[in-house]
Amino acid sequence: MSKNNPQSNKVPGGVPSAHVDTSIKDLLPDPSQLPEFDFTGTPELAKYPDYLNAASELLDANVENGFGNRIAISYEQKSWTYKQLLELSNQIARVLVEDCKLQTGGRVLLRSGNTPMLVACWFAVLKAGGICVTTMPLLRSRELEFIIEKAGVSVALSDIELQDDIREASEKTGRIQHLHYFSKMGENDNNSTLEKLCEGKSSSFENILTAADDIALIAFTSGTTGNPKGTVHYHRDILAITDCFPRYVGKISPDDVITGTPPLAFTFGLGGVTLFPMRFGASTRFFPASGPEALFDTISRYSVTQVYTAPTAFRAMSNLVGKYDLSSLRQGISAGETLPKATWEAFHEATGVKIIDGLGSTEMLHIFVSASGDKIKPGFTGVPIPGYKAKIVDELGNECSSGTPGLLAVKGPTGCRYLDDPRQENYVKDGWNFPGDVYEKDSEGYYKYVARADDMIISSGYNISGPEVENVLLENPNVLECAVVAEPDPDRTNIVKAYIVLRDSGQGSPELTEKLQNYVKEKIAPYKYPRAIEYTEELPKTATGKLQRFRLRER
C-alpha cells in the first residue's frame, strides 16, 4: 500500500527522507538542543522500521487485517466503516497530490470540529507525505495568520461553516495557494468544494513511504502562557503514543466505543478519540453538541465504554449522573490539567468509575505519567507509563528525595522539538524534557502534582501552591470552579487570590468569603488561605478546557 520515495536529504535518524520540501526540518532545533529519545521501554517501540507511514499503520492496516467492515467513526446518525474511511482518505489524498500539487513535506492546515471528514483529511495528508497542521475551531483570523506564517502553510482544508476566518487569514497572509471547504458529514451540499473534487477520484492510493523520522504533524500549544509554540512530531512518534498509554494503561480492545470532548487539534484529543481506538480496531463516537449533558447523553445513548475529557467536565458531570444510564462506561481519562482529588472522589462515588489521571503535554505528544485500575492512588497523577522515565530534580539538577518538591523531568520515545523557537532551551536540558511542572514523589514512586512552575505563589517568604488551595476550595459544596493566582501586595510581595464560580451565583457575600477563608485555614496551613476572593460567572479557559491563569494574573 506504500511506495518508497526517498530523496537524497537525510532525516535525523540518518536514512533518506521522502520529503522534497525540507523547510520545516531546517527549522528544527540543533541536535545538541534535542532531548534523548529512548525506544527500549516496550517491545513494540523497538520494532519500528526505518520507513513507515502512520496512516498505513493506523488506517490501511485495519482493512488489510479484516477490520474493514467494522465501524471506525460515528457522528450523529451516520457511521463510517474502516473501509469507507480509507476510501474517502484515499480520494482526498489524490485531491492533494493531483489538484493541489502538494509536495511531500508540504504543510496542510486543517480547520474543523471533531468530524469524520476531519479524520479523513488528517489521514489523507499523511498518506500524501504532507505535514498536518490541525487548528482549533474557535481560533479567529489573527490566530490563524500566526499559524499559517509560522508553519509555512500552502494548502488549507476547512469545514465550510468555519470559512470566514480562514478566508480572511488566507487573504492577509497570501500564503495559501489552495483553499477547499468540506461539510461535516462529507456530503456534497453544492457549497463545499472538497467533495466535488473527490467525485470521480479513484478510492485507491499508494501511500508515500515516509521515513519513520519524517515530520508528520505540527501541533501548536494551546496558549496558556502567551504565544503558542509549534511542536514537531514524526511518524514514529504517532505510533509510539499509540503503543504506550492505550496499550498498557487504557488497555483498549476492538470492542471499545470511545468518545470525548477535546478537539483533534489538541494532541490529547487526537490520540484519545482517534489514534488510540484506531490502533486497536475500536470505534470512535463524535458528537456535535457541547457541555456535560451532551457528553453524558452520548455515553448513555451509544453505550460508550471510554471517555476522554478535562477535570472540569468530570466535576460537572458528577452532578448529572442520576439522569443517564452510564452502565457501559468502564473508564474515564482526564488530562489537560491535574485532576483534583475531590473531583476524583465525587465522580467515583456517583458512577463507580475510577478516573485515570494523565499527565501529558503537546511537546511530548501525549500522556507519560498515569495509573489505572487498582494502581490508581487518588490525589496522585501516577507513575511513568511503560516507555517513559521520569525524575524530580532541584534547580541545580540534583534528584530530589521522596516528599521533596522539584521540577519534573521526563524522557521516552517522544520529546520536545519546537519549530524555530528559542524556548527550546527552557524545555530540554541534559537530554531530559522539562514540562514546567513542580511535582513530588512518595516512597512508593507515585508522582503528586504540586503546581506549574509559574503557579507557585511566594507570599511573605512562604512558597504556596495555587492548585493545592484550589483543591481545598473545590471540596466546599458552595464552590463549582475556582482558580488561585498571586496578586501583588506591597507588604507580602504577593497574596493568594481566589477567583470562584459558585454553584448558586447569588450566594457571593462578605460572609461567604469569610467562611471560605476559614474553611481553607482548617484544611491546610493557615498562611495558605486566600486573602482575597473574587466571585465570577466564569473562568478564562482555552478551547481545550485548560484554565488560563495568566489572564487572571493580568487582571
Q: What is the DSSP code (8-state) at residue 272?
A: I
Please give the Cα distance from 464 to 485 (Å, whole number): 10
Q: Please give the pLDDT value at position 224.
A: 46
Strand order through the sheet with 178-182: 178-182, 155-159, 107-111, 131-135, 215-220, 230-234
Helices (H), 303-447: 311-317, 341-351, 424-427
Per-residue pLDDT of the chain in tens (555 residues, 90 and over written 9) = 444 433 335 555 578 999 999 999 999 999 999 999 999 999 999 999 999 999 999 999 999 999 999 999 999 889 999 999 999 999 999 999 999 999 999 999 999 999 999 999 999 999 999 999 999 888 888 889 999 999 999 999 999 999 999 999 999 999 999 999 999 877 766 678 999 999 989 999 999 999 999 999 999 986 544 568 999 999 999 999 999 999 999 999 999 999 999 899 999 999 999 999 999 999 999 998 888 889 999 999 999 999 999 887 888 888 787 788 889 999 999 998 788 898 899 999 989 999 999 999 999 999 999 999 999 999 999 999 999 999 999 989 999 999 999 999 999 999 999 999 999 999 999 999 999 999 999 999 999 998 777 777 878 767 788 888 998 999 999 999 999 999 988 777 789 999 999 988 777 899 999 999 999 998 887 889 999 999 999 998 876 677 888 788 877
The answer to whether position 203 is within a domain reads no
Pair 2, 209: CB distance under 8 Å: yes
The answer to whether position 475 is within a domain reads yes
Q: Please give the pLDDT value at position 9.
A: 56
Q: Containing domain of residue 522, as a range?
A: 460-554
Element (H, E) at 482: strand 479-489
Structural domain count of the chain:
1
The answer to whether position 468 is within a domain reads yes
The residue type of 324 is Y
What lies within 8 Å, CB to CB, of 118 at 6+ separation is 110, 112, 134, 159, 264
Q: Please give the pLDDT value at position 542.
A: 75
What lies within 8 Å, CB to CB, of 272 at 6+ separation is 258, 260, 262, 308, 333, 335
The answer to whether position 471 is within a domain reads yes
The answer to whether position 410 is within a domain reads no
pTM of structure:
0.85
The answer to whether position 440 is within a domain reads no
The answer to whether position 466 is within a domain reads yes
Buried b (16+ CB within 10 A) or exposed e, 171-181: eebebbebbbb
Q: Please give the pLDDT value at position 10.
A: 57
Q: Which residue has the cell 469524520?
A: 116
The answer to whether position 499 is within a domain reads yes
Which of 20, 263, 43 is CA-nearest to residue 134? Answer: 263
Q: Which residue has the cell 504556596?
A: 464
Pair 430, 421: CB distance under 8 Å: no
Is residue 13 exposed (0-12), middle (13-18) or buried (19+ Cβ within 10 Å)? middle
The CATH number of the domain holding residue 534 is: 3.30.300.30
